[in-house]
């Protein structure tokens, strides 16, 4: 029987890198994203088996779409969708908090309901959250509140599925040097009336390693959860912030 991997947010910077890495391991990757065209383009560029699955994880329709794309046991399922929400508590449209929660909090529940019948001993269930969910910042009301909720939900999921041999992992990268983060820096700079360069310097100053984490490093960490020894990491939060998180968690 073939083994599947499921990646939600498959056309994003992190998601596409993860699809490529998992396909290179011989897994059949069900790549989930909203754009059928972007999924098809990505699948054609990868040397491996990728099954495009156009679906919006913010909608319950995604459950049936993902289930219909599966072909065997799910070895690993990852929610790597980004948040379409920006702004501080002073400026954010409050309705957008619900939109973001549908993507990450509702999304993780939908992903679980989609893959649960195909999980078994040794399967990994993974969510990519963010350090703002643990250590709030002044400019990101959405990522702070929503990722905190996602981390809590993952703890609940781990309590449900640990006895089944299905391990549950929350991966918490700090800010990564990606085009998306540079766009966010531009939004913050506009809100403050400052420059993108100043905001970017603030990101770097918060990281004791002296640089932001790279996408390939985060992908490496997620891939290593497939090792049998990663069972012991069940229920934990894996910090990949390059020394950015100050508070003990």
Contact of 58 with 103, CB cutoff 8 Å? yes
- Predicted local distance difference test score (pLDDT) of residue 192: 87
Exposed e or buried b per residue across 99-121, where buried means at least 16 C-beta atoms within 10 angstroms of its C-beta: ebbbbbbbbbbbbbebbbebbee
Q: Please report, for the domain that includes residue 86, its CATH number.
A: 3.40.50.720
Whether residues 224 and 203 fall in one domain: no
- Inter-axis angle of helices 179-192 and 196-205, nearest 10: 110
Name the band, by pLDDT with cuts 50, 70 and 90, for residue 141.
confident
- Predicted local distance difference test score (pLDDT) of residue 58: 96
71-80, 92-101, 135-144: least confident range: 135-144
Residue 247 resides in a domain: no
Name the band, by pLDDT with cuts 50, 70 and 90, for residue 201.
confident
Whether residues 138 and 59 fall in one domain: yes
Residue 205, pLDDT > 80, answer: no
Contact of 132 with 126, CB cutoff 8 Å? no
Rounded CA separation 177/175 (Å)? 7
Q: Which two tokens stand for residue 203?
A: 């990101």
Residue 185 resides in a domain: yes
CB neighbours of residue 56 within 10 Å: 17
Whether residues 75 and 196 fall in one domain: no
Whether residues 149 and 130 fall in one domain: yes
Name the band, by pLDDT with cuts 50, 70 and 90, for residue 1.
low
Across the chain, what does the average pLDDT equal?
90
Whether residues 52 and 132 fall in one domain: yes
Q: How many folded domains does the chain comprise?
A: 2
Whether residues 66 and 87 fall in one domain: yes
- What range defines the domain where residue 188 resides? 175-212
Rounded CA separation 10/201 (Å)? 29
Whether residues 181 and 142 fall in one domain: no
Whether residues 234 and 158 fall in one domain: yes
Whether residues 127 and 33 fall in one domain: yes
- Residue recorded with tokens 């966010």: 184
Whether residues 32 and 133 fall in one domain: yes
Whether residues 78 and 165 fall in one domain: yes
pTM of the model: 0.89
Whether residues 154 and 198 fall in one domain: no
Name the band, by pLDDT with cuts 50, 70 and 90, for residue 228.
very high
Residue 245 resides in a domain: no
Rounded CA separation 68/177 (Å)? 35
């Amino acid at each position: 029987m073939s083994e599947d991997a499921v990646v939600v947010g498959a056309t994003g910077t992190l998601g596409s890198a993860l699809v490529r890495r998992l396909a290179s391991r011989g897994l059949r990757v069900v790549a989930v994203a909203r754009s059928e065209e972007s999924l098809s383009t990505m699948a054609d560029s990868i040397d491996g088996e990728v099954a495009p699955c156009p679906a919006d994880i913010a909608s319950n329709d995604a459950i049936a779409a993902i289930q219909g794309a599966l072909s065997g046991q799910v070895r690993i399922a990852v929610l790597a969708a980004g948040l379409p929400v920006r702004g501080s508590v002073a400026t954010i449209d409050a309705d957008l908090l619900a939109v973001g929660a549908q993507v990450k909090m509702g999304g993780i529940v939908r992903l679980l309901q989609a893959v649960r019948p195909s999980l078994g001993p040794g399967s990994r269930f993974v969510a990519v959250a963010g350090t703002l969910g643990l250590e709030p910042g002044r400019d990101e009301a959405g990522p702070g509140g929503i990722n905190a909720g996602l981390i809590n939900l993952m703890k609940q999921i781990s309590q449900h599925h640990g006895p089944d041999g299905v391990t549950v992992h929350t991966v918490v990268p700090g800010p990564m040097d990606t085009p998306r983060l540079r766009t966010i820096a531009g939004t913050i700079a506009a809100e403050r009336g400052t420059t993108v360069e100043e905001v970017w310097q603030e990101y770097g100053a918060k990281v004791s390693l002296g640089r932001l984490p790279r996408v390939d490093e985060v992908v490496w960490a997620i891939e290593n959860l497939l090792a049998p020894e990663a069972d012991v990491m069940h229920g934990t939060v894996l910090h990949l912030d390059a020394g950015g998180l100050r508070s003990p968690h």
